[in-house]
Amino acid sequence: MRVATYYKNNDLRIEERPVPGIGPGELLVKVLASGICGSDVMEWYRVKSAPRVLGHEIAGQVVEAGEGVTEFAAGDRVFVSHHVPCGVCPLCLSGHATACDLLRSTNFDPGGFAEYLRVPAVNLEKKGVFRIPDEVSDEDATFVEPLACALRGQRAAGMAPAKSVLVLGAGISGLLHVALARALSAGRIMATDLNPFRLDMAKKFGADFVTNAGGDVPARLREANGGKGADLVIVCAGAVSAMEQALACVERGGVILFFAPLKPGETLALPVWDIWKDGVSLVTSYGAAPVDIQDALALIRFQRVQVNGMITHRLPLAETGKGFGLVARAGDSMKVVILPQE
């Protein structure tokens, strides 16, 4: 089978590998569509494990079910979660499933940028495989994991109807946060970015107000929001400047969700006095748990969050390198989906 092997952002090679063999309790899945995640092009994060086959936002079809598998059969369309939590450790039981040791050590083989992948038995045992409803297309199913991550983040941040929301960074994660906030009945929704194309997309998918991230964002926010900061500020840009903007934009009693990380070794100076006296909460979120995935799939199925219009590029497996370039450059592209069977 063909795979797109990652060496670095500008070096993805189409290579041949054997189709994975499966054992008892496992699945062989044909990959029908695979989205490129923003984290896939974080070279400082990915290059240390290169060469490898990336891709975790997938829609697939079961080709073969191993001995003992009864809940799935050949022909079933499935979304497979690459990481699964154990569900029984103290972290899982206290609501921190994405910090679970098992979640951080599991994956499918080899990755979504391949014609086929093997789903290990543990992914089935821990309920990491989900049947895709007929109403959800293969392309739309590639949004299940990233939407689930956004949903988990907004839940952690206490998202509630009528809250004003500011999203800093209108790439695909920011766009999903905008659309999700709209679906969850947020009040005024605002978004920033340096890219006019992305600002236009944010308006299309639910932002009431957008502004260039290089301007006086705190002043423009308050001008557009009745003199107040945002109840919830979601940082989707992995930059110190964006995090500093968040601190200047959050309303008293509000929450800042650090959805994007900084590089290891980068630090952010916190004005602890201001955070303390204004009752501001700082929240982080990483990944998604099975309950988030299940709920994200329902949001897509019933079109509470309409994702298909977010796709700007559909490419065959042979052009995965081109796709990585589009995502890394962050120009006139939003969601890039790879179609491994083409």
The answer to whether 130 and 293 have CB atoms below 8 angstroms apart is yes
Instruction: Report pLDDT for 45.
Output: 87
pTM, to two decimals: 0.97
Three-state DSSP class for residue 183 = helix
Q: How many CB atoms lie within 10 A of CB 1?
A: 17
Is residue 339 scored above 90 in pLDDT?
Answer: yes
* Residue whose C-alpha is closest to residue 39's, from 129, 114, 149: 149
Q: Supply the pLDDT for residue 65.
A: 98
Q: The tokens of 292 are what?
A: 């988030």
pLDDT digits (tens, 9 = 90+) for 222-237: 999 999 999 999 999 9
DSSP string, 151-169: HHHHHHTT--TT--EEEE-
Confidence band of 22 (pLDDT split at 50, 70, 90): very high
Structure tokens at 62: 């079961």
Q: Which CATH number fits domain 2-144+289-339: 3.40.50.2000, 3.65.10.10, 3.90.180.10, 3.20.20.370?
A: 3.90.180.10
pLDDT at position 324 over 90: yes
Q: Count of H helices and E strands in the chain?
A: 12, 15
**pLDDT given at position 266:** 95
The answer to whether the 2-144+289-339 and 158-284 domains have the same CATH topology is no
Q: Which CATH number fits domain 158-284: 3.40.640.10, 3.40.50.720, 3.40.50.1000, 3.30.870.10?
A: 3.40.50.720
Distance CA 1, CA 17 (A): 5
pLDDT range class, residue 316, cuts 50, 70, 90: very high
pLDDT in tens, 92-112: 999 999 999 999 999 999 999
Give the residue-averaged pLDDT of 264-280: 96
Tell me the mean pLDDT in the region 43-68: 95
Q: Confidence band (pLDDT; 50, 70, 90) for 44?
A: confident
pLDDT, averaged across the chain: 97
Q: What is the pLDDT of residues 134-172, one digit of tens each?
A: 999 999 999 999 999 999 999 999 999 999 999 999 999
Whether the Cβ atoms of residue 5 and residue 51 lie closer than 8 Å to each other: yes
CB 50 within 8 A of CB 70: no
Smallest CA-to-CA distance from 112 within 151, 136, 138 is with 138
Radius of gyration of the chain (CA): 20
Tell me the percentage of the chain whose pLDDT exceeds 70.
100
Q: What is the CB neighbour count within 10 angstroms for residue 253? A: 11
The count of other CB atoms within 10 Å of the CB of residue 107 is 16
What's the rounded Cα separation, in Å, for the pair 335 and 342?
18
**Angstrom distance (rounded) from CA 235 to CA 98:** 19
Domain boundaries, the chain: 2-144+289-339, 158-284
pLDDT score for 67: 97
